Every structure is written in structure tokens, then in C-alpha cells.
Structure 1
């Protein structure tokens, strides 16, 4: 085995990786054993102050059941000694909520995935590179590994931002229809809470994101929250300017005592006009977008088709006359 390790570089790399994994596992076990007593003491303290914590932080059985495998993994990593708290936690929490990740452990899971990708992608490339018959040079491994580490650092951010944009676009496109139904329900005699509940149940299939926002707000109103608090939470959760404006209008109408139906009628007309303007904007952008494939694909073909007969005529008749044939 020693002779094989001396002759084969790939075998040496694998042996070093196994040794590294073994040492890392021993270190993690040692840290876990060292922190076990502290964790037990913390649990005893939490059990002694359970009543105070439940009253202060509003802890419930549902919040305990929502802990996923990712949250447990992030908690295990933090117990091992690695802090996953981001320095810009408020901005990160707002971005994750805009993308639909409303769990309290979402920022820690996000940071853990970014850290994992920084090491997993370069390590995977190193394993694939040194398993080939001709291993690459150290400079190539260093450059490609650095690029993959940067990709692993920024890839989760790009994914979350893209998902937030798609979610925002779906909410913007579906909110005018829900607002029209809400106006119909209010004008037919239903209260605002009953109308939101009805529209939320009707629009589950066509616009599930808007239906989810309306249903959550209805549940908060039924649980005893004021309209001001419930609609402010709705605006914060959605992350869409149109819904923020809607929530502001509802809050002002409630405080000033104006008619909810009149407010909804005016805002629904404005939302329909905005949707029509967005459709017209996309329609006006189509000629510019179509010109790119037109110039790149169709124009060379048209030029070739028009010039080919003239080129054949020149080759057959004009060029022989020019050379004296």
C-alpha cells in the first residue's frame, strides 16, 4: 500500500481526504461532548422558566412542530461552535420573506447552505479532476476551485432573489382579480373579514399566493388582532407595493370612517388600469425583442437568397469575360 501511495497521486489525495474527514469527525465529536453539559444546563434553565418564556415570546406547539430537518441541522451546526447569524439579518430576513421563506430559522439555514457550497463545489471538482488519468496542474485547480467557491457563495443569493421576483410577479398579476371579487363581496353586503375569507377560499387554485395572504390575514383578525396590525403584517409579508398601498388605504378608511366599498372601487379601477399599462408596456417591447432574432437569423438568409442568383450569373458569364474566356 505504501508503494502504491508513493506511485499514484490520486491514491495519495484520497488517503489525505480520508484522514482529513477522520480528524474532522473526531474534532466534531469532541466539541459535541464538550458542549453537552452546557446544552443540558441550558435545557434545565429553559424548563425552569417555561412559563415566562411562553408568556413573553408566545411559544406554542405549532411553532415547535414547524422545525424542519434543515432547521435541526442548522441548530446542530451552531451547537458545534459555528455561528450562523448574518451581520445584515434584517435585510436577509426581508429578502427571504419576499421569496416565501417565513420560518424563523430561514436566515440560519440560508447561511449554512452558502458556507456548505463554498467547500462542496471545489471539493467535488478536486475529486473529479484527480480521478482522471491526467490530473490538472495546481494553478488550474486553484483557479477553478476559487471560481467554484465564488459561485457557491453567490448562487443561493441569486436563487432567492429570482424566486422573490417570481413570487412578486405572481402576486401582482393575481391581486387585481382578487380585488374585483373582494369589491363584489363587499358591495353584496358581506363584511371585510367575511369577504376576505370568501375570496381567499375561491382563489386558491387560480392565485394561491394572494389567497394565502388573504387567508392568513383573516385568521389573524379572527384571533383578535386589530385591522391595523393584521394589514400591516400582510403588507410586510407580501413585499409588493400594490398590496402595501391597499393595506394603507384599508387602515386609513377604518380610522377615518369612510366607506370600504368606495375605497375598494377606486383602488380596483386603478389596479385594472395599472395592469393594462403593464400589458401595453410588454406589447411595445415586443418589436425590439423580435428584432434581435430577426437580424441574427432571418436577415443573413434573406441576403443570401437575394444575392445568390446574381453571384451565379457573375461566376458563369461575367468572370469568364473578364479573364478572356
Structure 2
């Protein structure tokens, strides 16, 4: 009950704070004065009292609150930080509904919410002043960087999937080009017959080419949106082959062989790491149980023998 009451108080405080921020800003006051002057000059009748009450809760409360959070996020987040967030969104695959403004407002909202929860739980546990200050500082930092952590985690998982899908996609692309398809048609064939983030990236390359970007620019954009080294190497080889005039099929065959070799090397590397990684659970959990089973009966017998004497 206390937790529910605290959560209600926290969200109520958030709403009041951000409503006050939006209502007391100079821009808001200036716009309100201008609207009042225009309404007085044109003689527009006032809205009926029940019209605003008939609007949904999201239009009356949530959307204005989100707009105020986005405005505050733009003020706090500089141009450099906004560009970094945009790069993180590209690496994460631009999740639906996530924009630079949404991430900026989420950082502010996360800071306030986590800070309020940290203060509430610290006060419930009766923490002293130093622990209270430390918990508030940790909560503020965690809430502020929570969207960045989520984007980074999403980007890392997505790049792992890209790395797994890349060899098979390049093999299919090589077969399609050697069968007589052009490079653009082969890209479309691979994007249509595969699934996952790589298919989405290839679709984006094709869409950029359709709206007027050159093949070189679209491929370079594909390499810039990811930190996968194999993908960057493939894109660089395709760009150089397109600019120099080397046959695409020959370059694709070479790239396909190199990427298969790298995939086998990564598998061998992970296999060589297994004995080292398995040593810790074996020493901590398996060996003690074996020692108890093997030495335990003997120790019990020795104890009984010496105890009887």
C-alpha cells in the first residue's frame, strides 16, 4: 500500500512539475497573449466548457506533457549529443517510435522518476544523510543514462545478428550475380528472400537508390550505420569495385571466401575459450561436490574410529 501511494505521489509530482515548467515559460506566456489578442480582434467565441472534457486523456495530458519534455530535452541536449543519439538510433535499427527528441525527453523523465524512487526507498529504509545523497546521485545518473544503455544493448544484439547473417547473405548475393542478375536486382533478391536486420538494411539501401542517391552513397551509408567490421570491409570492396570497374562477381566471390574464413576463425576462437570459461564453475560448484562424495564417507569413518577409541 505504501509503495502504491508513493508511486502515485511521484507521478503526480512529475505532472505538476512539468506542467509548471511549460506553463511558466516565456514562450508559453507570449503565445497565450498573442492568442488572446487574436481572439479579441476577430471576436471568435470561446470554446464550450464540455469540449475539452470530451477529448481523450492522452490528448489532454499525455501529448502536451510529452511535448514539454521534448522541448526541455532539446534545451539540455546539445547539437553534438543529438548527433550521437542519432548514430545510436541508426546502430539500433531505428526502433519504432524512437526519435532524438523521444530519447532526450526519456533521459529527463528517467532522471526524475528514478531520482524520486531512490529518494522514496531510501526514506522508507531510514537511510542516513550520506547514504541518501549517494542513492540520489546514483539514481539520477542511472535514470539519465538508461535510454543510452538500452540503445547500446539493442545495437550490440543487432550487430551480432548482422554478423551471423552476413556470410549467408553474401553467398546468396554471389550466386545471384553469377546467375546473371545485376547487382541491384541481386540485392533486391537477397532482401526479399532473407529475414532479420541485414534484410532491413539492404531494403533501406534499395530505397535510398530509388529516391535518387547513387549506389556508392547508399552503400557507404550502409557501412556508416553499423560497427560490424566485416560489413564495412564488404561495403568498401563494393564501392571500390564500382568506382574502378572491376567485375562485381569476382569481388563477391573473393569477399564470400574471406568472410567464410573469418566465420570459421571466430568459431574456433570461441571453442578455444570454452575450457577457460568452464574452469570457474567446475572449481566452484562441481569439484566441491565430488570431494564431498568421495572423501566424505572416509572422513566419517575416520571420525567414528577415532571417536570410539
Note whether the superposition's TM-score is higher than 0.5. yes
* Alignment pair present for 1:182 and 2:170: no
The TM-score normalised by the length of structure 2 is: 0.76
Once residues 236 and 153 of structure 1 are traced to their aligned partners in structure 2, the CA distance between those partners, rounded to angstroms, is 26
* Alignment pair present for 1:293 and 2:281: yes
State the 1:33 CA deviation.
3.2
Once residues 158 and 262 of structure 1 are traced to their aligned partners in structure 2, the CA distance between those partners, rounded to angstroms, is 41
State the 1:123 CA deviation.
1.1
Provide the residue aligned with 1:44 in structure 2: none
Provide the residue aligned with 1:60 in structure 2: none
For structure 2, which runs of at least 5 residues remain unmatched after alignment?
36-61
8 Å Cα contact 2:174-2:253 kept in structure 1: yes
Instruction: Pick 1 or 2: higher relative contact order, CA cutoff 8 A, min separation 6.
Output: 2
Once residues 145 and 73 of structure 2 are traced to their aligned partners in structure 1, the CA distance between those partners, rounded to angstroms, is 24
What per-residue deviation string (whole Å, max 9, x for no partner) do you get for residues 193-242 of structure 1? 011001100002xxx21111111112222333211111111112233222
Instruction: Report matched runs for 1:214-253 at 5 Å.
Output: 214-253=202-241
State the 1:22 CA deviation.
4.8
8 Å Cα contact 1:84-1:112 kept in structure 2: no
8 Å Cα contact 2:209-2:215 kept in structure 1: yes
Provide the residue aligned with 1:77 in structure 2: 69
Residue 161 of structure 2: which of 151, 166, 170 is its match?
Answer: 170
8 Å Cα contact 1:115-1:153 kept in structure 2: yes
* Alignment pair present for 1:34 and 2:47: no
State the 1:19 CA deviation.
8.4
Distance 1:33 1:245, change over 3 A: same
Residue 102 of structure 2: which of 91, 109, 125 is its match?
Answer: 109
Once residues 39 and 101 of structure 1 are traced to their aligned partners in structure 2, the CA distance between those partners, rounded to angstroms, is 38
* Alignment pair present for 1:119 and 2:112: yes
Q: Secondary structure at the match of 2:225?
A: helix
Provide the residue aligned with 1:96 in structure 2: 89
What per-residue deviation string (whole Å, max 9, x for no partner) do you get for residues 233-280 of structure 1? 111223322222112111111121111000000000001111111111
* Alignment pair present for 1:200 and 2:191: yes
What per-residue deviation string (whole Å, max 9, x for no partner) do you get for residues 106-132 of structure 1? 3332222122222111212444565x6
The TM-score normalised by the length of structure 1 is: 0.73
8 Å Cα contact 1:118-1:150 kept in structure 2: yes
Distance 1:27 1:296, change over 3 A: closer
The count of residues paired between Structure 1 and Structure 2 equals: 275
Moved more, 239-248 or 177-186: 239-248
Q: Secondary structure at the match of 1:239?
A: coil
Moved more, 96-105 or 233-242: 96-105
Once residues 190 and 80 of structure 1 are traced to their aligned partners in structure 2, the CA distance between those partners, rounded to angstroms, is 51
